[in-house]
Amino acid sequence: MSGATPASTMQIGQLAGLKMGKATRDAFGAALKELGAEFPNVVVVDGDVGNSTRTEPFAKAFPNRAFNVGIAESNMVGVAGGLAAAGKTPVVSSFACFLICNAFEQIRMSVAYPGLNVKMVGSHAGISIGEDGASQMGIEDVALACALPGVTVIVPSDAMCARKATRAMLEHVGPVYLRCGRAEVPEIYTADSPFQIGKANKLRDGKDATIIANGLMVGIALDAAALLEKSGVKVRVLDMHTVKPLDEAAVVAAAKETGRIVVTEEHLMAGGLGSAVAATVARTHPVPIEFVNVGDTYGESGDPAGLLQKYGLTAEALVSAVNKVRSR
């Protein structure tokens, strides 16, 4: 449960000509501190990992509005529920797995069921956290969060997206889960780029297929699109940063206009973005879909780039998936 070394060995975004940027957890932390004065009701509840989740800068700037309740995630979420019931906007944060998995029952009863205005931020999502291994990897979190009625689920793809998502999350009334990563990711957006909860961003257009991605996989999807273009295949790339509520219009348009879909995420197959997209496509405009994700297995220790390679979360894997879905 340490967290200093960035995953600088990764080459994500190079094929697409993107510059490497900051990790989404860093962008979230910086934005939270910046927004602290503008949102006086915001308070932070931390389970003693604030230096990893990046709530620490806020806690240092606003010490009376930050509560470190120790390594006790269940209580941490309950305290956040109480703060929200009293009119505060608590940002409760831990590693994605400890927040969502450990405190799932508390999120269900003390946040989601009463519909309280709690902002849940999970860091260290996915297998790209690297060396710490499977116990620290949140790869079930999106499925669990999406299972809860009324919870908005956001998976930002780059630092700018995370920064804008942080503001949007605080402005939104109701429970939100924001999923952040530890690895550095390429810069996809600029300050002028749009961000709206529940509205996908079309990053590239093409008629041959659509890659729907979120989080770290967006940069990899753009790399895959660049590779495919070399062989004359033009794909649409959607950044589906909001898994719930899903931008169904964008999914339906992709199905209708490109006829083939590949969904990719740094998450298990079960219950994530792939499931959400598949359900929508099956119900509206059935077309072939392939999935590139962690599958149905746990991760392990290793360097982030090596892990992404081993678990098939690469531009090459996406190219294969696009070719496969086009051949069906």
Partner 1 sequence: MSGAAASLTVDQLKTKATAIRRHIIQITTEAGSGHPSSSLSAVEVVTALYFGGFLRHNKANPRDPKRDRFILSKGHAVPVLYSTLCEAGYYSFEQIMTLRKLGSPFEGHPNMKRLDTMEASTGSLGQGLSIGVGQALACRLDGYDAHTYVMMGDGEMGEGQVWEAIATAAKYKLGNLTAIVDQNGYQQTGATKDVLDLKPFASKFEAFGWHTQTISGNDMAAVVKALETAKKITDRPTAIISETKKGFGILPVLEATGDPNHHGKPLSPELAEKALALLV
For partner 1, the closer CB: 72 or 252: 72
Task: Write down the least CB distance from residue 149 to partner 1, Å.
Answer: 11
Task: Write down the least CB distance from residue 35 to partner 1, Å.
Answer: 18
- Residue 109 corresponds to which tokens in the numbers above? 């009863």
For partner 1, the closer CB: 43 or 269: 43
For partner 1, the closer CB: 116 or 220: 116
Is beta strand 176-179 parallel, antiparallel or unpaired with respect to 201-204? unpaired
Task: Write down the least CB distance from residue 264 to partner 1, Å.
Answer: 35
Give residues with Cβ within 8 angstroms of 109, minimum separation 6: none
Q: Which of 34, 38, 56, 73 is catalytic?
A: 73
Q: For binding to partner 1 (CB under 8 A), which residues are involved? A: 43, 45, 64-65, 67, 69-70, 72, 74-75, 77-88, 90, 105-106, 108-110, 113-115
| DSSP-assigned letters across all residues of 107-151 | HIIIIITTT---EEEEESBSGGG-TT-GGG-BSSHHHHHHTSTT-
290 assigned to active site:
no
Query: How far is it, in rounded angstroms, from Cα 261 to Cα 19?
Result: 27
For partner 1, the closer CB: 75 or 193: 75
Residue 4: exposure state from Cβ atoms within 10 A (0-12, 13-18, ≥19): exposed
Task: Write down the least CB distance from residue 89 to partner 1, Å.
Answer: 11
Query: How far is it, in rounded angstroms, from Cα 52 to Cα 309?
Result: 25
| DSSP tag of 192 | T
For partner 1, the closer CB: 37 or 109: 109
Task: Write down the least CB distance from residue 46 to partner 1, Å.
Answer: 12
| Residue in the structure block whose two tokens are 């989601």 | 112
E strand or H helix that includes residue 274: helix 273-284
Query: How far is it, in rounded angstroms, from Cα 204 to Cα 234?
Result: 9
| DSSP tag of 45 | E
Active site members:
73
